[in-house]
Amino acid sequence: MSTPRAYLFVPGDAPRKMDKALTAGADAIILDLEDSVAPARKADALTAVAAFLDARPADATPEFWVRVNAAEPTAALEELAALPLARIAGIVHPKLERHDQLERMGAWLDALEARDGLPAGGTRILGIVTETADALVGEHGSSLARGHPRLRGYSWGTEDLSAVLGRPPLAGNTDAHADLARMVQRHCLLLAAAAGVDAIDGISADFRDQAALARSCDYARELGFVAKLAIHPAQIEALDAGLAPHPDALAWARRVRAAVVDAPDAAALTVDGRMVDRPHIDVAERLLTRAGEPGAT
Protein backbone atom coordinates (compact mmCIF):
# COMPACT_ATOMS: atom_id res chain seq x y z
CA MET A 1 0.00 0.00 0.00
CA SER A 2 1.02 3.65 -0.31
CA THR A 3 2.48 5.53 2.64
CA PRO A 4 -0.20 5.89 5.36
CA ARG A 5 -1.50 9.37 6.12
CA ALA A 6 -3.55 8.49 9.22
CA TYR A 7 -2.29 6.32 12.10
CA LEU A 8 -5.13 5.65 14.55
CA PHE A 9 -4.32 4.79 18.18
CA VAL A 10 -6.56 2.19 19.84
CA PRO A 11 -6.20 1.01 23.46
CA GLY A 12 -5.01 -2.58 23.52
CA ASP A 13 -7.36 -3.54 26.35
CA ALA A 14 -10.49 -2.53 24.40
CA PRO A 15 -11.43 -5.32 21.94
CA ARG A 16 -14.62 -3.56 20.85
CA LYS A 17 -12.68 -0.42 19.96
CA MET A 18 -10.16 -2.51 18.03
CA ASP A 19 -12.97 -4.08 16.02
CA LYS A 20 -14.55 -0.68 15.42
CA ALA A 21 -11.24 0.75 14.23
CA LEU A 22 -11.29 -1.64 11.28
CA THR A 23 -14.04 0.44 9.68
CA ALA A 24 -12.69 3.88 10.65
CA GLY A 25 -10.92 4.42 7.34
CA ALA A 26 -7.43 4.82 8.81
CA ASP A 27 -4.47 3.69 6.72
CA ALA A 28 -2.81 2.27 9.82
CA ILE A 29 -4.00 1.21 13.28
CA ILE A 30 -1.70 1.41 16.30
CA LEU A 31 -2.72 -1.10 18.95
CA ASP A 32 -1.47 0.44 22.17
CA LEU A 33 0.10 -1.45 25.04
CA GLU A 34 1.65 1.64 26.62
CA ASP A 35 0.15 4.86 27.98
CA SER A 36 -3.53 4.22 27.20
CA VAL A 37 -3.48 0.97 29.21
CA ALA A 38 -3.42 1.00 33.02
CA PRO A 39 -0.57 -1.00 34.61
CA ALA A 40 -2.98 -3.57 36.03
CA ARG A 41 -4.39 -4.15 32.53
CA LYS A 42 -1.12 -4.62 30.62
CA ALA A 43 -1.22 -8.42 30.59
CA ASP A 44 -4.87 -8.49 29.51
CA ALA A 45 -4.10 -5.95 26.79
CA LEU A 46 -1.26 -8.05 25.39
CA THR A 47 -3.52 -11.11 25.28
CA ALA A 48 -6.27 -9.13 23.57
CA VAL A 49 -3.94 -7.57 21.00
CA ALA A 50 -2.34 -10.91 20.13
CA ALA A 51 -5.77 -12.52 19.71
CA PHE A 52 -7.01 -9.63 17.57
CA LEU A 53 -3.97 -9.87 15.29
CA ASP A 54 -4.16 -13.66 15.07
CA ALA A 55 -7.68 -13.27 13.69
CA ARG A 56 -6.49 -11.04 10.83
CA PRO A 57 -5.20 -12.43 7.52
CA ALA A 58 -1.49 -11.88 6.86
CA ASP A 59 -2.19 -9.46 3.99
CA ALA A 60 -4.92 -7.54 5.82
CA THR A 61 -5.47 -3.83 5.48
CA PRO A 62 -5.19 -1.40 7.11
CA GLU A 63 -1.66 -1.75 8.43
CA PHE A 64 -1.36 -2.87 12.04
CA TRP A 65 1.26 -1.49 14.41
CA VAL A 66 1.79 -2.12 18.12
CA ARG A 67 3.12 0.43 20.61
CA VAL A 68 5.10 -1.48 23.20
CA ASN A 69 6.40 -0.43 26.62
CA ALA A 70 9.85 0.30 25.26
CA ALA A 71 10.91 2.34 28.30
CA GLU A 72 10.89 -0.99 30.19
CA PRO A 73 13.10 -3.28 28.08
CA THR A 74 12.12 -6.51 29.82
CA ALA A 75 8.43 -5.80 29.35
CA ALA A 76 8.94 -4.71 25.76
CA LEU A 77 10.78 -7.90 24.82
CA GLU A 78 8.09 -10.04 26.46
CA GLU A 79 5.44 -8.15 24.48
CA LEU A 80 7.31 -8.55 21.20
CA ALA A 81 7.79 -12.27 21.81
CA ALA A 82 4.04 -12.73 22.32
CA LEU A 83 2.99 -10.89 19.15
CA PRO A 84 2.30 -12.58 15.80
CA LEU A 85 4.81 -10.55 13.79
CA ALA A 86 3.44 -11.91 10.53
CA ARG A 87 0.29 -9.86 11.12
CA ILE A 88 1.88 -6.48 11.83
CA ALA A 89 3.64 -3.83 9.78
CA GLY A 90 5.74 -2.60 12.64
CA ILE A 91 6.41 -1.57 16.21
CA VAL A 92 5.95 1.91 17.67
CA HIS A 93 8.89 2.74 19.96
CA PRO A 94 7.81 5.41 22.48
CA LYS A 95 10.24 7.58 24.46
CA LEU A 96 12.99 7.02 21.92
CA GLU A 97 16.13 8.88 23.01
CA ARG A 98 19.19 7.25 21.44
CA HIS A 99 20.27 5.29 18.41
CA ASP A 100 21.32 2.29 20.49
CA GLN A 101 17.65 1.85 21.43
CA LEU A 102 16.82 1.51 17.73
CA GLU A 103 19.64 -1.01 17.38
CA ARG A 104 18.34 -3.01 20.34
CA MET A 105 14.80 -3.09 18.95
CA GLY A 106 16.16 -4.08 15.56
CA ALA A 107 18.17 -6.94 17.06
CA TRP A 108 15.13 -8.23 18.93
CA LEU A 109 13.10 -8.15 15.73
CA ASP A 110 15.90 -9.92 13.85
CA ALA A 111 15.71 -12.81 16.32
CA LEU A 112 11.92 -12.97 16.40
CA GLU A 113 11.57 -12.87 12.62
CA ALA A 114 14.04 -15.76 12.39
CA ARG A 115 12.05 -17.63 15.06
CA ASP A 116 8.84 -17.19 13.07
CA GLY A 117 10.38 -17.91 9.67
CA LEU A 118 9.68 -14.39 8.40
CA PRO A 119 11.73 -12.39 5.89
CA ALA A 120 14.48 -10.48 7.67
CA GLY A 121 13.81 -6.77 8.11
CA GLY A 122 10.11 -6.86 7.33
CA THR A 123 8.92 -5.50 10.66
CA ARG A 124 9.37 -1.73 10.69
CA ILE A 125 9.88 0.74 13.55
CA LEU A 126 8.16 4.07 14.15
CA GLY A 127 9.86 6.18 16.80
CA ILE A 128 8.35 8.84 19.07
CA VAL A 129 11.30 11.17 19.56
CA THR A 130 10.26 14.10 21.80
CA GLU A 131 8.81 12.57 24.95
CA THR A 132 11.78 13.14 27.26
CA ALA A 133 14.21 15.97 27.86
CA ASP A 134 17.13 13.66 27.03
CA ALA A 135 15.64 12.98 23.61
CA LEU A 136 15.72 16.69 22.86
CA VAL A 137 18.94 17.91 24.47
CA GLY A 138 20.79 14.81 25.72
CA GLU A 139 24.22 14.04 24.32
CA HIS A 140 22.91 11.07 22.31
CA GLY A 141 19.64 12.53 21.00
CA SER A 142 21.17 13.65 17.71
CA SER A 143 22.28 10.06 17.03
CA LEU A 144 18.70 9.36 15.96
CA ALA A 145 19.46 11.34 12.80
CA ARG A 146 21.42 8.28 11.63
CA GLY A 147 18.21 6.35 11.14
CA HIS A 148 17.98 2.57 10.90
CA PRO A 149 17.15 0.11 8.08
CA ARG A 150 13.86 -0.77 9.80
CA LEU A 151 12.82 2.81 10.48
CA ARG A 152 9.55 3.95 8.87
CA GLY A 153 9.36 7.37 10.45
CA TYR A 154 9.56 9.66 13.46
CA SER A 155 6.69 11.30 15.29
CA TRP A 156 6.39 13.59 18.29
CA GLY A 157 4.29 14.26 21.36
CA THR A 158 4.21 16.62 24.32
CA GLU A 159 2.18 14.71 26.92
CA ASP A 160 5.06 12.86 28.59
CA LEU A 161 7.37 15.83 28.12
CA SER A 162 4.83 18.07 29.84
CA ALA A 163 4.98 15.80 32.88
CA VAL A 164 8.78 16.05 32.90
CA LEU A 165 8.48 19.83 32.79
CA GLY A 166 5.94 19.87 35.61
CA ARG A 167 3.10 21.33 33.57
CA PRO A 168 -0.34 19.79 33.05
CA PRO A 169 -0.41 17.72 29.86
CA LEU A 170 -2.85 18.84 27.19
CA ALA A 171 -3.13 22.19 28.94
CA GLY A 172 -5.05 23.74 26.08
CA ASN A 173 -4.25 26.14 23.29
CA THR A 174 -2.25 28.58 25.38
CA ASP A 175 0.76 30.40 23.99
CA ALA A 176 3.01 28.27 26.20
CA HIS A 177 1.47 25.04 24.92
CA ALA A 178 1.77 26.22 21.32
CA ASP A 179 5.41 27.21 21.80
CA LEU A 180 6.29 23.82 23.28
CA ALA A 181 4.42 21.94 20.56
CA ARG A 182 6.07 23.88 17.76
CA MET A 183 9.53 23.39 19.24
CA VAL A 184 9.24 19.61 19.43
CA GLN A 185 7.35 19.43 16.14
CA ARG A 186 10.28 21.04 14.34
CA HIS A 187 12.76 18.83 16.17
CA CYS A 188 10.91 15.75 14.91
CA LEU A 189 10.68 17.14 11.39
CA LEU A 190 14.42 17.77 11.16
CA LEU A 191 15.34 14.40 12.67
CA ALA A 192 13.12 12.65 10.13
CA ALA A 193 14.65 14.62 7.28
CA ALA A 194 18.18 13.80 8.45
CA ALA A 195 17.31 10.11 8.79
CA GLY A 196 15.53 10.03 5.43
CA VAL A 197 12.25 8.72 6.86
CA ASP A 198 8.63 9.85 7.10
CA ALA A 199 7.83 12.83 9.33
CA ILE A 200 4.59 11.94 11.12
CA ASP A 201 2.77 14.73 12.95
CA GLY A 202 1.66 14.25 16.55
CA ILE A 203 -1.89 14.01 17.83
CA SER A 204 -4.54 16.72 17.99
CA ALA A 205 -6.11 16.06 21.37
CA ASP A 206 -9.49 17.76 20.85
CA PHE A 207 -11.08 15.39 18.34
CA ARG A 208 -14.35 17.35 18.42
CA ASP A 209 -12.80 20.54 16.99
CA GLN A 210 -12.76 19.70 13.31
CA ALA A 211 -11.85 23.22 12.23
CA ALA A 212 -8.76 23.24 14.44
CA LEU A 213 -7.85 19.77 13.19
CA ALA A 214 -8.06 20.92 9.58
CA ARG A 215 -5.79 23.88 10.35
CA SER A 216 -3.34 21.58 12.13
CA CYS A 217 -3.21 19.24 9.13
CA ASP A 218 -2.68 22.10 6.69
CA TYR A 219 0.12 23.50 8.84
CA ALA A 220 1.79 20.12 9.21
CA ARG A 221 1.60 19.44 5.48
CA GLU A 222 3.13 22.83 4.68
CA LEU A 223 6.00 22.11 7.08
CA GLY A 224 6.72 18.78 5.40
CA PHE A 225 4.87 16.15 7.44
CA VAL A 226 3.37 13.34 5.37
CA ALA A 227 1.15 11.68 8.00
CA LYS A 228 -0.41 12.28 11.41
CA LEU A 229 -1.33 10.34 14.53
CA ALA A 230 -5.02 10.16 15.45
CA ILE A 231 -6.79 9.29 18.70
CA HIS A 232 -10.39 9.02 17.47
CA PRO A 233 -12.14 7.71 14.33
CA ALA A 234 -13.80 11.12 13.91
CA GLN A 235 -10.39 12.55 12.96
CA ILE A 236 -9.60 10.24 10.07
CA GLU A 237 -11.46 12.00 7.26
CA ALA A 238 -9.83 15.35 8.06
CA LEU A 239 -6.39 13.77 8.35
CA ASP A 240 -6.72 11.96 5.05
CA ALA A 241 -7.81 15.11 3.26
CA GLY A 242 -5.48 17.52 5.03
CA LEU A 243 -2.28 15.50 4.67
CA ALA A 244 -2.82 14.64 1.01
CA PRO A 245 -0.52 16.54 -1.36
CA HIS A 246 -2.22 19.78 -2.38
CA PRO A 247 -3.64 19.71 -5.95
CA ASP A 248 -1.64 22.81 -6.88
CA ALA A 249 1.54 21.18 -5.60
CA LEU A 250 0.83 18.03 -7.61
CA ALA A 251 0.19 20.06 -10.75
CA TRP A 252 3.52 21.84 -10.24
CA ALA A 253 5.27 18.51 -9.66
CA ARG A 254 3.87 17.12 -12.92
CA ARG A 255 5.15 20.17 -14.79
CA VAL A 256 8.57 19.68 -13.24
CA ARG A 257 8.60 16.03 -14.27
CA ALA A 258 7.58 16.96 -17.80
CA ALA A 259 10.36 19.54 -17.99
CA VAL A 260 12.90 16.93 -16.90
CA VAL A 261 11.66 14.52 -19.56
CA ASP A 262 12.05 17.24 -22.19
CA ALA A 263 15.58 18.14 -21.05
CA PRO A 264 17.03 15.15 -19.17
CA ASP A 265 20.62 16.43 -19.24
CA ALA A 266 19.91 19.94 -17.99
CA ALA A 267 21.25 20.83 -14.53
CA ALA A 268 18.66 23.59 -14.14
CA LEU A 269 15.27 24.10 -15.75
CA THR A 270 12.63 26.80 -15.91
CA VAL A 271 9.13 25.92 -14.71
CA ASP A 272 6.42 28.56 -14.31
CA GLY A 273 9.05 31.24 -14.88
CA ARG A 274 11.24 30.06 -12.01
CA MET A 275 14.49 28.15 -11.87
CA VAL A 276 14.20 24.48 -10.90
CA ASP A 277 17.23 22.36 -10.03
CA ARG A 278 17.89 19.02 -8.34
CA PRO A 279 16.38 19.80 -4.89
CA HIS A 280 13.14 20.95 -6.54
CA ILE A 281 13.09 17.89 -8.79
CA ASP A 282 13.53 15.61 -5.78
CA VAL A 283 10.62 17.32 -3.99
CA ALA A 284 8.44 16.96 -7.08
CA GLU A 285 9.21 13.26 -7.35
CA ARG A 286 8.45 12.66 -3.67
CA LEU A 287 5.11 14.43 -4.04
CA LEU A 288 4.15 12.38 -7.07
CA THR A 289 5.23 9.12 -5.45
CA ARG A 290 3.09 9.90 -2.39
CA ALA A 291 0.17 10.58 -4.72
CA GLY A 292 0.59 7.19 -6.40
CA GLU A 293 2.39 8.48 -9.49
CA PRO A 294 5.89 7.03 -9.18
CA GLY A 295 8.36 7.64 -11.95
CA ALA A 296 12.08 7.72 -12.67
CA THR A 297 14.20 10.85 -13.03
- Do 162 and 20 lie in one domain? The reply is yes
State phi, psi for 168 to the nearest 5 degrees. Answer: -60, 130
Segments of 122-253 assigned E as strands: 124-128, 151-155, 198-201, 227-230
Q: Which domain holds residue 266?
A: 248-291
Q: 31 lies in a domain?
A: yes
Do 128 and 26 share a structural domain? yes
- Would you list which residues are annotated within the binding site? 67, 131, 160
pLDDT at 179: 86
Please tell me whether residues 77 and 192 are part of one structural domain: yes
Closest CA to 36 of 53, 16, 72, 12: 12
Provide, rounded to the nearest whole percent, the portion of the chain with pLDDT above 70.
97
Pair (230, 255) in one structural domain: no
Terminal alpha carbon distance of the chain:
22
In a domain, 1, yes or no: no
Binding annotation for substrate:
67, 131
Contact assessment for residue 86 and residue 133, using Cβ atoms and an 8 Å cutoff: no
Q: Report yes or no on 119 lying in a domain.
A: yes
Helix (H, G, I), strand (E, B) or coil at 64: strand
* Angle at CA of residue 228, ends 278 and 209, nearest 5°: 130
Cα–Cα distance measured from residue 140 to residue 97, given in angstroms and rounded to the nearest whole number? 7
Residues 231 and 254 grouped into a single domain = no
How confident is residue 296, by pLDDT bands cut at 50, 70 and 90? low
CATH number at residue 58: 3.20.20.60
Residue 75 falls inside a structural domain: yes
Query: What pLDDT, on a 0 to 100 scale, did the predictor assign at position 297?
Result: 45
**Confidence check: pLDDT of 30 > 90:** yes
Provide mean pLDDT across the span 51-59. 92
Q: Is 117 left (phi over 0), alpha (psi -120 to 50) or beta?
A: left
Does 53 map to a domain?
Answer: yes
pLDDT category of residue 2 using cuts at 50, 70 and 90:
low
- The annotated binding site for Mg(2+) is made up of 131, 160
Radius of gyration of the chain (CA): 20
Q: Work out the pLDDT band at 291, boundaries 50, 70, 90.
A: confident
Count of the separate structural domains present in the chain: 2
Q: Would 296 be classed as within a structural domain?
A: no
Clarify whether residues 106 and 252 are in a common domain.
Answer: no
- Find the range with the poorest average confidence among 20-24, 157-161, 205-209: 157-161
